[in-house]
Chain A
Amino acid sequence: MELNRILTTILLIAVIIISCSCNSVKKISTKYYDENKIALDSIEHNFKILYQQKPFSIEFTDKSFNYVSIEIITDTLKYIYEFGINETRLIDTLTKYHFNEKAIVDLFSQMRSIHCTWINYLDYYVDEKKEALIFISMRPVGLSKPFTNKKYYIITYFSQPQYFDNEGKLLVKRKRQRIRKINGEIFWRINDKVCYSISGRFR
């Protein structure tokens, strides 16, 4: 009897943990965007301005967001550096490549505040024409499903309104009901220009 009670308790706890972590993907992601809309839109806006001055991407390489990798893109070479967030080498490098250091450091802080792991421009093609979107990955805090890898929230910002099917899946074109994949993932509508996905990898 005693053993039965213990087993029942363990089973109940397990069911609660699993059900807590099995919220609908859609609910989590739209909620996440709504809760962090101001910060996300600001990161996107600042990145867009800074990228126009000098192309780059930012990646936080560790779980505690203490190390940052910056890819500096030139016509001939992509320089990939990794620094501790408080290292003086970081500022020295930004200065060397003529970045607006304060604006970049502010962007790091904004990204850290919402656990944003990566931001970059990504090319895609429509009718053989090159388009670009801003790709932002977040590492969610809190519980995830037991025995599974943590997933990342991905938010994409398009420069033009996109087409979606009845379920909200991103389409290639309105007339052709073909689903567009970005980085191998299906994306869902948040608004006309912003989509989300959940992915096992952040880039």
Chain B
Amino acid sequence: MILSKIYVRVFFLISICFSVLNVSVASSEICTDSDTSITSSKWQAIAFIKTIDTLPSSIYWPNVKPKLFLENLRSNIYSPLKIYEGISTNFCGYAALSYLLLHDDPVGYAKFMIQLFQQGEATMGKVLFHPSTAINQTAGALKFKGVLDIRPADQMWFLSLADHFKGYLNVFDHRYDAGDEDKLWASVNYAKFNRMVRELLHYKVDAKGSDMIHPGTSNTYEYIKSKMKSGVMVLYVNNTFLYKKKHTALKLGFPTHYIILQDINKTGETITITYWDYGGRSLRQMTPAFLRRITFGISHCTKKLNGVE
């Protein structure tokens, strides 16, 4: 008990330091590099996946059934909105990243997943994924997570991302043990999320906000609205307010959830947002104060230049 209390105190001290650091880092990092990678369309991805009827079992992924794996890839390509992080997991950051990937480069995604399945390792962007043995053994065997139970490719993908990318929240739980998908091992702090997008995808990220302090925008609604026209918006939000799960008066004032904002409008003092999370789109209304209270990070993702934008 005493040891765990010390851990918690150390963790909070570190998190405060990183949070302060992230404010300056996140808001100043505007990647200006251009990238010559070609982004693919959904129809190209469908044409690609149609060329693969069957796959032999993989020696690297003993619990991943090839038939379910292919069905999962097809489902993600045909219906990218349906990708789902699973009940009670901390995979929401990885699911939000997958939304960006599946809408921007589904062919790249499909090829990467096939290579990862067949060869046990694969490269995306600048990153070589070589998942640990624990991840190889676990993918395909996660249970009681809703539809994620029958989506082994998503299990492979989320687990591999969590295995590879580490942030300060993962310091005390660095290696995967059974059940860690629900714990700090899988969590994604804000700087880590933005780093993953920059390193893996054809996006540049203009990030405002941090893990503990709200973004320094004078008017959150106006800022988001103005940026939405030119890119994809990812919001890092406090889930205890967005999806209430307890009736306690005291709520943790930290963000724990990533959503993709698709639309935002204001009528009088009512803001209506349409967003993607948990494998589907939702629409809800809120006050400007509520929007500010739940929003901790605003990532404005725009395509990297390919010569012709």
- Give the B-binding residues of A (Cβ under 8 A): 59, 61-63, 76-82, 117, 122-125, 128, 130, 139, 149-150, 172, 180-184, 200-203
Contacts and interface: CB of A to CB of B under 8 A. Distances in A.
Given A125-B149, A139-B247, A78 B144 contact: no
Nearest to B245: A201
Nearest to B87: A183
Given A125-B150, A181-B144, A203-B245, 10 more contacts: A62-B247, A63-B247, A78-B282, A79-B282, A122-B146, A123-B146, A123-B147, A125-B149, A184-B182, A203-B244
Contacts, number: 63
Dominant SS among interface residues on chain B: mixed
25 contacts: A59-B244, A63-B247, A76-B281, A77-B274, A77-B280, A77-B281, A78-B280, A78-B282, A79-B283, A80-B282, A80-B283, A81-B285, A124-B144, A128-B68, A149-B248, A172-B143, A180-B144, A182-B144, A183-B87, A183-B88, A184-B87, A184-B144, A184-B182, A200-B246, A203-B244
A57 to B, nearest CB: 12
A62 B246 CA distance: 9
Interface in B53-79: 68
A69 to B, nearest CB: 8
B229 interface: no
Interface of B: 68, 87-88, 143-144, 146-147, 149-150, 182, 243-248, 274, 280-285
Identify the 3 closest CB pairs spanning chains A and B, nearest first.
A201-B245, A80-B284, A184-B88
Contacts of B247: 62-63, 117, 139, 150, 202
B31 to A, nearest CB: 33
Dominant SS among interface residues on chain A: loop
Contact of A149 (B144, B147, B246, B284): B246
A81 B149 CA distance: 30
Given A123-B147, A125-B147, A183-B88, A77 B282 contact: yes
Nearest to B280: A78
A81 B284 contact: yes
Contact of A78 (B147, B245, B248, B283): B283
Contacts of A80: 282-284
Given A77-B283, A80-B283, A202 B87 contact: no
A202 B245 contact: yes
A140 to B, nearest CB: 12
Contacts of B143: 172
B197 to A, nearest CB: 25
Contacts of B281: 76-78
A202 B150 contact: no
A124 B145 CA distance: 8
Contacts of A117: 247
A139 to B, nearest CB: 6
